[in-house]
Amino acid sequence: MSDEQAAAPTNNFLRSIIDEDLKSGKHSGVVTRFPPEPNGYLHIGHAKAICINFGLARDFGGRCHLRFDDTNPAKEEQEYIDSIKESVRWLGFDWGQHLYYASDNFEQLYQWALYLIEQGKAYVEDLSAEEIRAYRGTLTEAGTESPYRNRTVAENLELFGRMRSGEFPDGSHVLRAKIDMAAPNINLRDPVIYRILHAPHPHVGDAWKIYPMYDFAHGQTDALEGITHSICTLEFESHKPLYEWFLDNLPVPARPRQYEFARLNLTYTVMSKRKLQELVQLGTVSGWDDPRLPTLEGLRRRGYTPASIRTFCEQIGVGRSDSWIDVSVLEECVRTDLNDSAPRAMAVLRPIKLVIDNYPADMTEELQAANHPQKPEMGSRTIGFSKEIWIDGDDFMEVPRKGFHRLMVGGEVKLRFGYIVTCTGVIKDEQGTVLELRGQYDPASREGIHTADGRKVKGVIHWVSAAHAVAAEVRLFDRLFADPNPDRGGIDYKQFLNPNSVETLTDCKLEATLADSDVETRYQFERTGYFRQDPKDSQPGELVFNRVVTLRDVWARK
């Protein structure tokens, strides 16, 4: 990411900590890491973590590692690994040579587990998962020691070796750290650090039959990589004493420090990978890249730009107090970005034909249209004009309401970049549905908004020449949930799904310049919103456009 792309850094408590660490000589450089578990696709909450970790490393002249904390092969897939790498790159960050996997350290982690056993600080447990939970106690009551807690070192070494060799079935044994069953922090009550899993691993294959728990692998992997500042969300704050206990009790090569920040809570969505996966598996959405999802793949497919997401992450800041960010803040970031960068085009989403009776049937014209009203350097384009044009159904009313300044029978409007036209009649079917409009144009009005006799026209509408129009499907995406907090506890979040989260229009008419448009270009369809071609479904001759965002926040008026 170039300096121009990077948002200007703002001060926050993490920057203050790093600045002090460098000034005091505690660290000579900064090494951070972004450590996703490859058990799903990244979402907008991960974007915040990516921007924090890569941004801090960039701004302090350090480096950020991309590390997969791949300790649970039962839920991890190569598809997720590939998607995560692609999303981080798309967001504008690069890990260079520093791509790591926790699984690359499995042998070292196993040796450290043996070290704990030899020091009398770990033991093989035979209790079931349910029994372990029961023995652990509660927040107000101390736990009970396992009957297997005082096995000899020799017995534990033998059993753990047999666990590694695959002699035992899943769930029959685990390895636990021997800490304190009366500790106020339940995470310190002899936590499980290894379990048996007869499952192939996406990175190391079938080499292992036992896998370390996340809490055991994370801190030691930080140490092996020389991480100076291990930054995570507040839900891991209660795990910090365990993180530090392992570092204190193992011969690790470095001593990282964990710091926590508040995770992103975004309205009108869910941020749990488990729930996002459930929506995918139930078919509620079309996949992890459904444009209604908060996944980075979904936002990218919809048309969000990396710059808009980075700006959003910069604007919401970094703190230690949980708070909710309204999704309109994210929408406004992409709206602002696209208002500045998106070329304009005309598209009629709900077409009604207007036949201009006094325009020659055998004549067409080429009109010039600016690609951006505030940026002449973006140039102009040529659009066709003919006797029959398409206008949007919302721009015509037979019985106009007060303040309606668009087309009506006997009324005049200015066609954007074109002529002033007057509606002279309406053709309907037997049910009263409007089939076609008839009108007249003023040949002298091409350059302005006045008629030949000087009358000024108030309304300006977009249009597309029927002789030049390109057909397209347009998908109007809205928020996936109708409630601002669908994930509140005790209620099924799926009951808040918005039944109108997508509207598919199949008979849209676009100006001809869009026929060969680049799939990565976002456009402002004038007076309608911001759109981009769907990168999966759109193809030459069968165009599909997604609405990225409306021109203004329509939910603010609901």
Q: Residue 207 sits in a domain of what CATH number?
A: 3.90.800.10
Are 118 and 190 in a shared domain? yes
* Of the residues 441, 463, 485, the one at which a domain ends: 463
Are 96 and 219 in a shared domain? yes
pLDDT at 5: 43
- Helix axis angle for 306-316 and 78-91, nearest 10°, is 80
List the catalytic residue out of 15, 37, 121, 162: 37
Q: What span, in angstroms and rounded, lies between the C-alpha atoms of 334 and 339?
A: 8
Any catalytic annotation for residue 263?
yes
Number of domains forming the structure of the chain: 3
Q: What is the CA radius of gyration of the chain?
A: 31
In 3D space, the residue among 219, 206, 212, 167 whose CA is nearest the CA of residue 192 turns out to be 212
Weakest-pLDDT range from 49-58, 243-252, 448-457: 448-457
Top-confidence residue, 507 or 455: 507
In 3D space, the residue among 460, 471, 466 whose CA is nearest the CA of residue 514 turns out to be 471
Any catalytic annotation for residue 158?
no
pLDDT at 294: 97
Q: What span, in angstroms and rounded, lies between the C-alpha atoms of 20 and 106?
A: 34
Are 200 and 262 in a shared domain? no
Is 457 a member of any domain?
yes
List the catalytic residue out of 75, 149, 263, 275: 263
Relative to beta strand 174-177, strand 122-125 is: antiparallel
Its pTM stands at: 0.93
Any catalytic annotation for residue 85?
no
Give mean pLDDT, residues 122-151: 97
pLDDT at 556: 64
pLDDT at 553: 75
User: Does residue 453 carry a pLDDT above 70?
Assistant: no
Are 65 and 133 in a shared domain? no
In 3D space, the residue among 16, 44, 39 whose CA is nearest the CA of residue 310 turns out to be 44
pLDDT at 3: 41
The CATH number that applies at residue 450 is 2.40.240.10
Are 92 and 229 in a shared domain? yes
Q: What span, in angstroms and rounded, lies between the C-alpha atoms of 17 and 12?
A: 9
Instruction: Report whether 258 contacts 14 (CB < 8 A).
Output: no
Q: What span, in angstroms and rounded, lies between the C-alpha atoms of 333 and 108?
A: 45
Are 121 and 100 in a shared domain? no
In 3D space, the residue among 251, 185, 258, 190 whose CA is nearest the CA of residue 219 turns out to be 258
Give mean pLDDT, residues 445-464: 82
Name the CA dihedral angle for 306, 7, 32, 305, rounded to a multiple of 10 degrees. 0
List the catalytic residue out of 33, 273, 387, 479: 273
Is 441 a member of any domain?
yes
> 487-492 long-range CB contacts below 8 Å, 24 or more apart?
487/270, 487/271, 487/272, 487/275
Q: What span, in angstroms and rounded, lies between the C-alpha atoms of 346 and 526?
A: 6
Helix, strand or coil for residue 181?
A: coil
Spatial strand order of the sheet with 529-533 comes to 344-345, 522-525, 529-533, 543-550, 470-477, 502-510, 347-348
Are 219 and 322 in a shared domain? yes
List the structure tokens of 203: 């990175």
Structural domain boundaries, residue 119: 106-212
Q: Which percentage of the chain shows pLDDT scores above 90?
A: 90
In 3D space, the residue among 110, 128, 126, 123 whose CA is nearest the CA of residue 155 turns out to be 123
User: Does residue 56 carry a pLDDT above 70?
Assistant: yes
pLDDT in tens, 508-539: 999 999 999 999 999 999 999 999 999 999 99
